[in-house]
Amino acid sequence: METEKNITLKHDIYDTLYILEKYCDIKGSEEKYALIQLNIKNFRYFNTNYGSKAGDEILTLVFQKIMMFLEEKEYTGYLYADNFVLLLKCDDSNYLIYERLIPLIDILYRIDDERIYRNLFMSMGIYMIIDPKVTFYDALNYANLCRKESETLFNRSSCIELYEESFYKSYMDRMKLEIDTADAYKDYKFVTYLQPKVRLINGEIIGAETLLRWFDKDGNSIPLYKFLPILNQNGYIKLIDIDTFEQMCQYLDTRIKNNQKVVPISFNISKSYFYDPDIVQDYIDVFEKYNIPKEYIEIEFMESISLNDTEHLKKIVSDFKEYGFTCSLDDFGDGYSSFNVLLNARFDIIKMDRQFFLNNLNGNSNLVIKTIIDLIHSLNMKVIAEGVESEEHIECLKEYGCDMVQGYYYYKPMPIDSFNMILDS
């Protein structure tokens, strides 16, 4: 058995070649094996806090413990950065996880070094070596894929994920969707819809919200939840946001010149655009190309993206308002509500989330709705209720003095031409 003093960490290609050779050997053996890709979570912290030399020392300690953990005819190798690969004997995946890998995690977690003791967490991906046709690099890729797809990857704890075909399918579907969204943007396939906002006391349309729609080749609407996260990740949502804003500025400018009725249009600030330092100026630059009164522009901030940085939110809202735009807070009550935001961000309008109007009313829900409306009015803000679909809720909101409603009870989101027809009539 090897001792710690003669086990060293190699920083060259030979570790990978060694484990590659062993992988080829075991594929032809009768014993069953699993390939495990092991990554040290947040290893950058150790390099940053203690220096790269100390980082190498920590990697060597981990490598030593892994080597001493191996049983006969089991192998490990250092890949790169903070990644290792293991080839462990495995007849059963549950046994592998609970009797081998979890104990290994505990061994590494308790390495007797004050820099890392109880502060070292692992993420592992497992690929069961069943098909001899699968190459070493494919097996490594599958293990790494499921490791990165683990729902607990970013938790402050170690995690283990076993590769299944569903991981590959999910990943490939997402990659295809990312390519499709990029193509859709380049080919102008994203469409702007408008959903009217209605004054509750008389049913008059007094505004509209821009909503993004994307249709497949058969004309079916692709759900927003499927492609919006991709647009936020690849940055296209910023381009789409500002393109939509310019499109609607053109729309307002044209209707005003033609002496046609116009109402304020609201625009959602997307998550990835929220922290862009040029966001306010970008909107102002577009707006100033056209001859539109500023009161026809409303900027909506989703509550879920804004509460993490109240000071940043306050500054952006203040800058937009100082220029003359109306500002509103969307999704109020969707699990992120903060009175601090209400008190400090100086919104003009608060939009009550649709969750308040999903179920039939009772004494408690009536009280909550009335209290929220009264509170917002006491802060000199207007209230709009979103997602309202029933007459019961409409009558309740009328009784409690809600200012506006946006929902299927009155209008669904619609193409701009359809909106114009309603507005003109």
pLDDT for 2 equals: 43
pLDDT for 307 equals: 56
At which residue do the structure tokens 């098909």 appear? Answer: 131
The pLDDT profile of the chain, 425 residues, written as one tens digit per residue, is 344 444 566 545 557 889 999 999 998 788 999 999 999 999 999 999 999 999 999 999 999 999 999 999 999 999 999 999 999 999 999 999 999 999 999 999 999 999 999 999 999 999 999 999 999 999 999 999 999 988 888 888 999 999 998 888 888 888 888 899 989 988 889 999 999 999 999 999 999 999 999 998 888 999 998 899 889 888 889 999 999 999 999 999 999 999 999 999 999 998 888 888 999 999 999 999 999 999 999 999 986 665 557 788 889 999 999 999 999 999 887 655 567 777 778 899 999 999 899 888 887 888 999 999 999 999 999 999 999 999 999 999 999 999 999 999 999 999 999 999 999 98
Pairing of strands 414-415, 122-129: unpaired
Domains of the chain listed by start with CATH number: 4-163 (3.30.70.270), 174-424 (3.20.20.450)
Task: Assign 250 to helix, strand or coil.
Answer: helix
How many whole angstroms separate alpha carbon 300 and alpha carbon 226?
A: 21
**Backbone φ, ψ for residue 270 (5° rounding):** -75, 160
Whole-model pTM?
0.73
Q: Are 33 and 71 contacting, i.e. CB atoms less than 8 angstroms apart?
A: no
Triad 25, 27, 32: Cα angle to 5°: 115
How many whole angstroms separate alpha carbon 422 and alpha carbon 425?
A: 5
How many whole angstroms separate alpha carbon 350 and alpha carbon 356?
A: 14
